[in-house]
């Protein structure tokens, strides 16, 4: 591994960045976050970094490895990088902004931290800027562009053939030094020029089939041979292209009893709220101090040492040994358990990571004073719950590179591509430690607040069984089944599409009302006919343990919430692209949206759990021509008092 490292902020390990991603470093340079083998001394994380009370999440997410927080040392402390997340500079080429001269690895003695940029050695006036292109493949490899190869090997579009260098060009290629290369923009296109042998070639990334030579920028070995039956495809893209990095992240909310609430009747449930004392015991530097702190806590709570040790075991490992099965969920139950925790009234300790306040009764009282138009809008809602605090655990499982839907490209060693399909180049998952043999995964805690609502089943079941509505959603479900989409949804039902669309409209309204940008808000959809779930959670969560500022949950107050609900319903009525948007049979990613576009319903990709698809605002506004009833009109006609 290269010795030239720098540190990364903890926030870079969130959803869109992790091992293998390109992040912004000092002085506007970019770099790649290295794998977890280099995060701690000898690749072994410190015990104090292990996440506590997450066994239910591990089981539900089917994650057998232990979960550890990344190192959180000072990002400017290069002398102790095991206490920070390391990264290497990438791309390694610098290019002169004046003459286009390329220079490979011009940094010596870590000068990238200097405030002054390197100067071009060719024209002596131009500033050297970091390159913007890289090479990726479907095996997750990442490397610099082979500018030397591109300049001396030429590709004939008509003959579909690569011509290797000959004579002086071959000699130049074999003994080449990067200082001879220049990339210039001429005649509306980029050209790569060798000033030594005068070789010139067009630079057209979409037509190139280069493959990475090294697995990753921080690994010096060459890419291993392709396994039998799996083909490797490379592509040249800009470093901010979607092909460069796609994280594989799983997440879940920490709910009672692991969230340390004191609603239980056991002594363990009563003392679990003393998390600071338990952390002090677990992090004691020696056994003597650990025993002393145990005794102090026992006296403080008037309990025996044995009772404190039992509570400590429950705090450290997530549950008591005899209550293991009660506290741990099973695969597929995560959202059902979260939904149950959200709709159940409970009491919470001051230090709990999960707190809710049920406002349904106050919302029902508000109906007594509402005009007719708002009254029927209010009947959309069954439960209104303020989520005063939540903790989300986000687990980084690996990443992908290259896009699955790209067609095979022409490469020097390709004989015939006619019989090859897209599945021949399916992206392969890269593990956080590259090798894939680690017993732990990186994860972070995110703390925040939110608003949870569930829909009124008195009208919802009748609405979902409407023949026109069911047929409209079934057409979307059939399109989803026939597509090659990587998105996963358990049940694509009318209830789900309605919940998802309402969730997006809410996010857009909340952006206007609470001051949070839409990109900082997230959704969590709870929809299942079998489990009788019909609700969604809109929340914001940050890495700071203090959480967010409270502006979002305050909008759950009945009057404020009803105003937002009314605005969301009105937002669905019209789009700047109507009538095209409303009448569209399939738009958006893989054509999996009906009436939904950037003008009305879509939100930032980081806010949506389903890739901004499975949306249709016609289910809310209605379409008389095609027999789709307006949601409010349907409730007015069908809701029995």
Give the per-residue pLDDT at 12. Answer: 47
Q: Considering its fold, how many domains does the chain have in total?
A: 3
Residue 318 and residue 198 in one domain: no
Give a yes or no: residue 494 inside a domain. yes
Residue 316 and residue 179 in one domain: no
Residue 231 · residue 424 · CB < 8 Å: yes
Residue with more model confidence, 482 or 74: 482
Residue 282 and residue 173 in one domain: no
- Spatial strand order of the sheet with 189-194 comes to 181-186, 189-194, 200-203
Domain ranges, residue 266: 255-327
Give a yes or no: residue 375 inside a domain. yes
pLDDT category, 358, cuts 50, 70, 90?
Answer: very high
Give the per-residue pLDDT at 613. Answer: 95
Rounded average pLDDT over 67-95: 72
Residue 364 · residue 391 · CB < 8 Å: no
Residue 599 and residue 502 in one domain: yes
Residue 112 · residue 118 · CB < 8 Å: no
Residue 496 and residue 559 in one domain: yes
Rounded average pLDDT over 340-367: 91
Give a yes or no: residue 299 inside a domain. yes
Residue 481 and residue 591 in one domain: yes
**Phi/psi at 424 (nearest 5 deg)?**
-65, -20
- Spatial strand order of the sheet with 133-137 comes to 142-143, 133-137, 234-238
Residue 453 and residue 308 in one domain: no
- Kind and range of the H or E run holding 301: helix 287-301
Whether the pLDDT of residue 462 is over 80: the answer is yes
Rounded average pLDDT over 472-477: 93
Give a yes or no: residue 218 inside a domain. no
Q: How far apart are CA 273 and CA 265, in angstroms?
A: 13
Classify residue 42 by burial, with Cβ atoms within 10 Å: 0-12, 13-18, 19+: exposed
Give a yes or no: residue 599 inside a domain. yes
Residue 496 and residue 603 in one domain: yes
Give the per-residue pLDDT at 155. Answer: 61
Residue 566 · residue 374 · CB < 8 Å: yes
Q: Reduce the DSSP state of residue 294 to 3 states and report it.
A: helix
Whether the pLDDT of residue 405 is over 70: the answer is no
Give the per-residue pLDDT at 323. Answer: 43
Q: How far apart are CA 541 and CA 606, in angstroms?
A: 12
Neighbours of 120 (CB within 10 A): 22
Give a yes or no: residue 122 inside a domain. no
Give the per-residue pLDDT at 375. Answer: 93
Q: Which of 30-44, 263-277, 527-541, 625-639 has the weakest average pLDDT? A: 263-277
Pairing mode, strands 234-238 and 200-203: unpaired
Residue with more model confidence, 91 or 25: 91
Residue 301 and residue 170 in one domain: no
Residue 633 and residue 566 in one domain: yes
Give a yes or no: residue 318 inside a domain. yes
* Length of the chain (residues): 641
Strand partners, 371: none
Whether the pLDDT of residue 372 is over 50: the answer is yes
Map tokens 């939110």 to a residue.
450
Q: How far apart are CA 538 and CA 559, in angstroms?
A: 18
Neighbours of 560 (CB within 10 A): 14
Alpha helices in 572-630 (DSSP H): 580-583, 618-621
Whether the pLDDT of residue 171 is over 80: the answer is no
Q: Reduce the DSSP state of residue 176 to 3 states and report it.
A: coil
Dihedral sign of CA atoms 457, 458, 460, 466 in order: positive
Residue 161 and residue 299 in one domain: no
Q: How far apart are CA 23 and CA 12, in angstroms?
A: 7
Give a yes or no: residue 244 inside a domain. no
Distance from first CA to last CA of the chain, Å, rounded? 70
Residue 298 and residue 376 in one domain: no
Of 327, 346, 375, the residue at which a domain comes to its end is 327
pLDDT category, 454, cuts 50, 70, 90?
Answer: very high
Whether the pLDDT of residue 3 is over 70: the answer is no
Q: How far apart are CA 462 and CA 420, in angstroms?
A: 48
Q: How far apart are CA 182 and CA 171, in angstroms?
A: 18
Q: Reduce the DSSP state of residue 311 to 3 states and report it.
A: helix
Rounded average pLDDT over 461-465: 94
Whether the pLDDT of residue 478 is over 80: the answer is yes
Rounded average pLDDT over 468-487: 89
């Amino acid at each position: 591994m290269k010795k030239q490292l720098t540190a990364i902020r903890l926030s870079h390990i969130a959803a869109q960045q992790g091992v293998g991603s390109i992040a912004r470093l000092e002085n506007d340079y970019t770099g790649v976050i290295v794998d977890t083998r280099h995060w701690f001394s000898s690749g072994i994380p410190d015990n104090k970094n292990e996440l506590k009370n997450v066994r239910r999440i591990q089981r539900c997410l089917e994650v057998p490895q232990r979960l550890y927080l990344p190192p959180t040392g000072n990002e400017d402390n290069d002398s102790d990088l095991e206490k920070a997340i390391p990264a290497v500079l990438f791309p390694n080429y610098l290019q002169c902004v004046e003459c286009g001269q390329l220079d490979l690895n011009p940094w010596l003695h870590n000068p990238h931290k200097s405030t002054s940029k390197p100067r071009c050695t060719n024209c002596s006036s131009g500033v050297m800027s970091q390159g913007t292109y890289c090479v990726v493949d479907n095996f997750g490899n990442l490397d610099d562009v082979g500018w030397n190869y591109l300049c001396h090997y030429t590709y004939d579009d008509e003959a579909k053939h690569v011509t290797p260098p000959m004579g002086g060009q071959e000699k130049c290629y074999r003994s080449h030094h990067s200082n001879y290369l220049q990339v210039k923009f001429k005649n509306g296109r980029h050209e790569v020029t060798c000033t030594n042998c005068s070789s010139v070639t067009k630079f057209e990334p979409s037509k190139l089939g280069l493959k990475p030579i090294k697995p990753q920028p921080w690994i010096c070995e060459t890419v291993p041979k392709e396994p039998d039956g799996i083909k490797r495809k490379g592509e040249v893209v800009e470093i901010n292209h979607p092909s460069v990095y796609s994280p594989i992240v799983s997440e879940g909310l920490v709910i009672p009893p692991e969230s340390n609430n004191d609603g239980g009747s056991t002594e363990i449930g009563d003392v679990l709220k003393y998390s600071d004392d338990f952390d002090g015991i677990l992090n004691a530097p020696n056994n003597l101090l650990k025993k002393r702190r145990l005794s102090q806590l026992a006296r403080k709570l008037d309990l025996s040492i044995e009772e404190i040790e039992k509570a400590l075991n429950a705090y450290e490992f997530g549950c008591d040994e005899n209550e293991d099965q009660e506290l741990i969920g099973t695969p597929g139950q995560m959202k059902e358990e979260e939904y149950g925790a959200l709709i159940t009234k409970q009491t919470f300790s001051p230090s709990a990571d999960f707190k809710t306040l049920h406002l349904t009764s106050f919302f029902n009282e508000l109906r007594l004073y509402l005009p007719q138009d708002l009254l029927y809008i209010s009947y959309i809602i069954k439960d209104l719950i303020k989520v005063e605090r939540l903790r989300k655990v986000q687990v980084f499982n690996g990443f992908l590179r290259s896009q699955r839907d790209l067609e095979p490209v022409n490469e020097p060693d390709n004989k015939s591509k006619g019989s090859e399909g897209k599945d021949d180049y399916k992206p392969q998952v890269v593990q956080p430690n590259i090798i894939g043999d680690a017993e732990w995964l990186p994860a972070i805690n995110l703390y925040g607040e939110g608003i949870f609502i569930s829909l009124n089943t008195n009208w919802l079941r009748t609405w979902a069984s409407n023949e026109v509505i069911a047929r409209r959603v079934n057409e979307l479900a059939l399109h989803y089944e026939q597509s090659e989409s990587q998105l996963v949804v358990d049940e694509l039902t009318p209830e789900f599409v309605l919940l998802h669309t309402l969730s997006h409209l809410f996010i857009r309204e909340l952006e206007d009302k609470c001051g949070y940008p839409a990109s900082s808000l997230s959704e969590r959809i709870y929809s299942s006919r079998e489990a009788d779930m019909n609700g969604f959670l809109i929340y914001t969560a940050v890495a700071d343990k203090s959480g967010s500022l409270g502006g979002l949950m305050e909008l759950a107050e009945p009057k404020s919430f009803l105003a937002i609900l009314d605005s969301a319903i009105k937002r669905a009525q019209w789009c700047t692209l109507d009538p095209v948007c409303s009448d569209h049979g399939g738009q958006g990613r893989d054509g999996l949206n009906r009436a939904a576009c950037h003008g009305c319903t879509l939100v930032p990709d980081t806010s949506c759990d389903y890739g901004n698809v499975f949306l249709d605002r016609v289910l809310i506004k209605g379409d008389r021509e095609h027999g789709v009833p307006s949601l409010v009109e349907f409730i007015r006609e069908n809701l029995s008092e």
